[in-house]
Amino acid sequence: MTALPIRHPVRIIGIDPGLRRTGWGVIEADGNRLVYVACGSVEPPEGLALSSRLLAIHEGLASVLSHHKPMEAAVEQTFVNKDGVATLKLGQARGVAMLAPAMFGITVAEYAPNQVKKTVVGAGHADKNQIAVMLKILLPKAEPPSADAADALAIAITHAHHRQSAALRLKVVGI
């Protein structure tokens, strides 16, 4: 008879990138059990040049990463809207949001907004209120200070539910 492997909780950071406010949320996943750790947002001061905003986002996320020490990270994929310039700028914030964990040696998974909503609420077109209600059920101790922090927690929850398949996809492509 062989012993079952001992499970260890996995600390996950979810990141919701944005130039005005980049939300972050940290949870621990132990099997199906989710535990809230912390959440918040990085908010560069208004009026900064784009490069300075990106630097502020990077420094803020680096501080969160060094303090909470997540083992895995997940970032929301960019949706393309009608304003191409805004989409490009959001893509730059998303690049920084992916770079920060990568610099700490943390693998970064990506999830589409509809997949996050479907995982947390059960419907791919859920609104912010529905996500907030489900967060209260899934993470009762969480009190996100902003919608961006709530979205980041939802991204972390999505990764907790899909991390095995995400790891398998990375292994198949040889990363």
Q: Considering the candidates 46, 59, 72, 76, report the single residue annotated as catalytic.
A: 76
Q: In degrees rounded to 5, what are phi and psi of residue 29?
A: -110, 125
Tokens (6 digits) for 37 = 């750790």
Q: Write out the DSSP string of 81-122.
A: -S-HHHHHHHHHHHHHHHHHHHHTT-EEEEE-HHHHHHHHTS
Residue 127 among the catalytic residues? no
Task: With CA atoms as reference, report the closest residue to 90 among 15, 16, 19.
Answer: 19
Contact 12, 27 (CB under 8 A): yes
Residue 30 among the catalytic residues? no
Query: Rounded distance, CA 132 to CA 150, Å?
Result: 7
Q: Considering the candidates 28, 72, 148, 151, report the single residue annotated as catalytic.
A: 148
Given the structure tokens 């993470």, which residue do they identify?
Answer: 139
Contact 22, 157 (CB under 8 A): no
Q: Considering the candidates 16, 28, 72, 151, report the single residue annotated as catalytic.
A: 16
* Residues annotated as catalytic (active site), given as ranges: 16, 76, 148
